[in-house]
Amino acid sequence: MGWIVPKNYTEKIGSEKFKEQPIGLGPYRFVNYQPGVELVLEANTDYWRKVPHVKRLVLKGVPEATTRLAMLKKQEADVAYALFGTLGEEVRRDPNLKLEPVIPPTTQWIVFTHQQYDPKSPWYDKRVRLAANHAINRQAVNESETLGYSIPTGGIIPRKFDGALPLEPYAYDPKKAKQLLTEAGFANGFDAGDCTVDIAFTGLGEALVNDLTAVGIRTTMRPVERAPDQAAHREKTHKTLALQGSGAFGSAATRLDAFVTSKGAQSWMKDPEIDAWYAQQAKERDRQRREALLHQIQQKLYDEVRFIPIWELGALHASGPRVAVSGVGLIPLFAFSGPFEDVQLKS
């Protein structure tokens, strides 16, 4: 049985650090690995939970989504991940394929980078940041890119995370967006430079820059590979707008730590009050008071319009005609197939 996955998935599993660890203790044993190409596993018949249904798994790293879909159609693979936009539509139309959407703990948003703290930048003005939020037609983007399976949101934290404050997105209102820009002194709009986007989400990026440009915030999408994009967030080298996101497990506290506190690994925020609240909640033993502090942080981010939150991503995966159980969605919030021992082929 074969999977086709984003290339970096197999590269991570096949790293030197992974090879140094004991293997063969889970439902599958390590057989072979070709860096960036494929990872081969075979069933561990002594696994404590159950003997896996499928005896051999091959995970292939295929960076191009169109190639992943072609392999699925030709039955060169049985499960394919991340088929967004028109590819998802194509899966849905094919009677031999099954679309399998899942909601992982992935949220995506646009950051204003360092510009929001620069008095010379248009993004310093809250009205401009609010205009950008009103410019985005999240539901239209949702329908076109993820077939309506994503959840538009007003925050950067998945609603199912402990400590999350559910926040509705600012309404799509281009008229209000233009009005806010006029009030801020940009009646004719302004040039916002590039909007850097992970190359895997160029469809999303195009939709976002089109919506911003439509109200007068003129920006151009600049697609980049994931590794240098994340490095630019860590090293604070992005100069203009940038798409950011996270699919890491955790809680509201861990997501805020990484992306909101001033010492966060990928945070663009500079807010001493938020830092103080975060430090306070970290020492708070009363659950309700701790949650109240986390909510307070999230509400301030929303009120001050520190991000352009887009959605909780609905990932579009698909399985082929041989598959009885793909494993997609069996583990809540998990983005891929799992547990592997529960995956089944049709008899």
The secondary structure of 198-266 as a DSSP string is EGGGHHHHHHHHHHHHHTTEEEEEEEE-HHHHHHHHHHT---SEEEEEE-----HHHHHHHHTSTT-TT
At residue 25, the pLDDT reads 76
Query: Where exactly does CATH 3.10.105.10 map onto the chain?
Result: 107-312
Percent of the chain with pLDDT over 90: 92
Q: Could you give the CA distance from residue 4 to residue 30 in angstroms, rounded to a whole number?
A: 17
Q: Could you give the CA distance from residue 304 to residue 220 in angstroms, rounded to a whole number?
A: 25
Inform me whether the pLDDT recorded for 20 exceeds 50. no
Place of tokens 């080298």: 237
- Pairing, β 2-5 against β 79-80: parallel
At residue 4, the pLDDT reads 62
Give alpha helix (H) positions in the chain. 7-13, 16-19, 65-73, 86-93, 126-135, 138-146, 174-183, 202-214, 226-235, 252-259, 272-283, 287-303
| Mean predicted confidence (pLDDT) in 225-231 | 95
Q: Could you give the CA distance from residue 315 to residue 325 in angstroms, rounded to a whole number?
A: 18
Phi, psi of 336 (to 5 degrees): -125, -165
Inform me whether the pLDDT recorded for 2 exceeds 70. no
Three-state SS at 306 = coil
CATH fold for the domain made of 2-104+314-345: D-Maltodextrin-Binding Protein; domain 2 (3.40.190)
- Pairing, β 151-152 against β 307-312: antiparallel
Residue type, 249: F
Q: Could you give the CA distance from residue 273 to residue 270 in angstroms, rounded to a whole number?
A: 9
For 303-328, letters b (16+ CB in 10 Å) and e give eebbbbbbbbbbbbbbbbeebeebbb
Query: Where exactly does CATH 3.40.190.10 map onto the chain?
Result: 2-104+314-345
**Mean per-residue pLDDT over the chain, rounded:** 94
pLDDT per residue over 164-219, tens digit each? 999 999 999 999 999 999 999 999 999 999 999 999 999 999 999 999 999 999 99
Q: Are 236 and 223 in contact (CB under 8 A)?
A: no
Tokens linked to 78: 């049985």
Domain 107-312 has CATH 3.40.50.300: no
Three-state SS at 311 = strand
